[in-house]
Amino acid sequence: QVHLLESGGGSVQSGGSLRLSCAASGYYRTSYGMAWFRQAPGKEREGVAAIGGDGNTMYADFVKGRFTISRDNVKNTLYLQMNNLKPEDTAMYHCAADSTRFNAGPSLWDAEFNYWGQGTQVTVSS
């Protein structure tokens, strides 16, 4: 069992920045792929950024150049640095872990992730 706990969400104005964290515990391995997803009210969940167990990263087009995903394998923590935030970034952000593949490349396909955190709310006002 892997436990994921997100933090760092909040309310910011357009153009502001936030840094999300996701602390992993339990049967967590640094070889797992990790990712951030988000879901706004009335909308489907969408992948934001992913980092594979191989260390490579992948971003959704709508965050490229603004968001950066990283992981600290000593602290077992996943991060999402979000800059130049826009009102359309408003959503609940969830981190997810894929324990079924080891040292694999990044993925934003949510069906590949079997552990999910409860989420942290990000609200961006114009």
Output the tens digit of pLDDT for each of the chain's 126 residues: 999 999 999 999 999 999 999 999 999 999 999 999 999 999 999 999 999 999 999 999 999 999 999 999 999 999 999 999 999 999 999 999 999 989 999 999 999 999 999 999 999 999
The pLDDT assigned to 15 comes to: 98
Q: Are 93 and 36 in contact (CB under 8 A)?
A: yes
The pLDDT assigned to 65 comes to: 95
Which helix (H) or strand (E) is 93 found in, with range?
strand 91-98
The pLDDT assigned to 100 comes to: 92
The pLDDT assigned to 34 comes to: 97
Round to whole Å and give the CA distance between 102 and 53. 6
Long-range residue pairs from 72-76, CB within 8 A, at least 24 positions apart, any chain: 73/30, 75/23, 76/23, 76/24, 76/25, 76/28, 76/30
Distances 94 to 25, 28, 126 between C-alpha atoms, Å: 15, 17, 23
Q: Which of 26, 81, 24 is nearest to 53 (CA)?
A: 24
- Report the Cα–Cα distance between both ends of the chain, in Å, rounded: 40
Pairing between strand 2-7 and 18-26? antiparallel
The pLDDT assigned to 91 comes to: 98
The pLDDT assigned to 121 comes to: 98
The pLDDT assigned to 52 comes to: 96
